[in-house]
Amino acid sequence: MKRINIDNANIDSLIIDEAVSLILKGGIVAMPTETVYGLAVDSANEESLKKLYEMKQRSKDLPVSLALADKNNVTNEYFSVLPPFGYRLIEKFWPGPLTIIYFEKKENKIGMRVPSDPIANRILSKLNKAVFLTSANLSGSREATSGSDVENIFGGKLDLIVDSGSTLYGKPSTIIDLTPNPFKILRAGVIPERDIVDVFIKKRILFVCTGNSCRSPMAQFLLEKYIGEVKPYLHGRHDIISRGVSTASGMSVSTHTADILKQKEGLDASGFASRRIDRQTILSSDLIFTMEDVHTDYILEFEPTAEGRVFGLKKFLPQGFEQDIPDPIGRGISVYEEVYSLIKKAIIELTGWL
């Protein structure tokens, strides 16, 4: 068994290469994470996994989680489509001390982790594949939080200990199972349950138009205002955002939009910056409201699993006013005011519906 000291602030690439090489050859490598030390083996090597179970004295009935360096690889290649809440958890806590259990694409359960520790991340990035990563401890015993702890527990049974000293948190990751509805905390850890509940209850509402400079920001600002005025008890319960299907990021709202919001609603939109819609935003949104049917079609073609969460804003207009919200870009202030009037009617109805 070899134990090598490594500096978080000046990571030696040769040590990273050695750890990667040993894992790929079927070895068991102890490495730091931000929570506790973990034991890593190649996920494609069944013999290494068997040795890992035996060494930890762990029941074969208890699965071992996988770890990757990139959260996008997890959502794109491993997990089936998560509920919107799951994507918001990933957005907030990965990389970090949260292990998520959900269905893989073959509908079996799988546990995944994306550590934030720089050494763990470098090893996983270099491997460019998933590894089985489990706490460095004997099953049911206290987890190792330093390289010396690992050595005391396992002696010479490991191929390598990558030792960066004490871990950041000194306790294990929180484990959440997203397969029950709505979720179940399987292990209390670094992330308190109340922080997970906060993410769950804060529903994301997304408004979509073409350029994200006129209609969708107008709807966003109006809903934020009216929920606060009409339903103050819902304060903090919604994350209200907007995106465009065809826009350059970083654009301000149009001058007419800014003027109307300021003069008619007392709202300051000067800090707004446009953003183009992406898959993560669609998947993480509980409700999506579009300005035109063409935007609905775009979203459902982009991400068919969003069906059932996408609605035309026109559905909230009074009878006789049901129409797509027209694009005012490049037109005069009077057209913008007409669009504002339509959006306001819809937002007032939507506020009552929420």
The sign of the torsion formed by the CA atoms of 354, 75, 175, 122 equals: negative
Token pair in block for residue 339: 């669009």
Q: Which of 120, 129, 141 is nearest to 37 (CA)?
A: 120
- Of 118, 116, 111, 166, nearest to 133 by C-alpha is 111
149 is catalytic: no
Runs of H (alpha helix) within 138-277 = 147-154, 193-201, 215-230, 255-265
The pairing of beta strand 2-5 with beta strand 287-290: unpaired
β-strand pairing of 2-5 with 160-163: parallel
Task: Report the C-alpha dihedral over residues 74, 76, 77, 78, rounded to 10 degrees.
Answer: 50
Q: Are strands 160-163 and 29-31 parallel, antiparallel or unpaired?
A: parallel
Q: Can you state the angle between helices 215-230 and 333-353, rounded to 10 degrees?
A: 40
Choose, from 12, 275, 327, 331, the residue flagged as catalytic: 327
Residue 174 dihedral angles phi and psi, to the nearest 5°? -75, 135
- 129-140 as b/e, with b when 16 or more CB fall inside 10 Å? ebbbbbbbbeee
Catalytic residue among 58, 122, 215, 243: 215
Q: Cα separation of 111 and 255, whole Å?
A: 48
Active site annotation includes 327 = yes
The single residue of 42, 113, 122, 209 carrying the catalytic annotation is 209
| CA neighbor of 32 nearest in space, from 122, 110, 107 | 122
Q: Is 214 a catalytic residue?
A: no
Measured between alpha carbons, how far is residue 201 from residues 126, 163, 235 in Å? Answer: 37, 39, 11
Q: What are phi and psi of 80, to 5 degrees?
A: -70, 180
**Catalytic residue positions?**
209, 215, 327
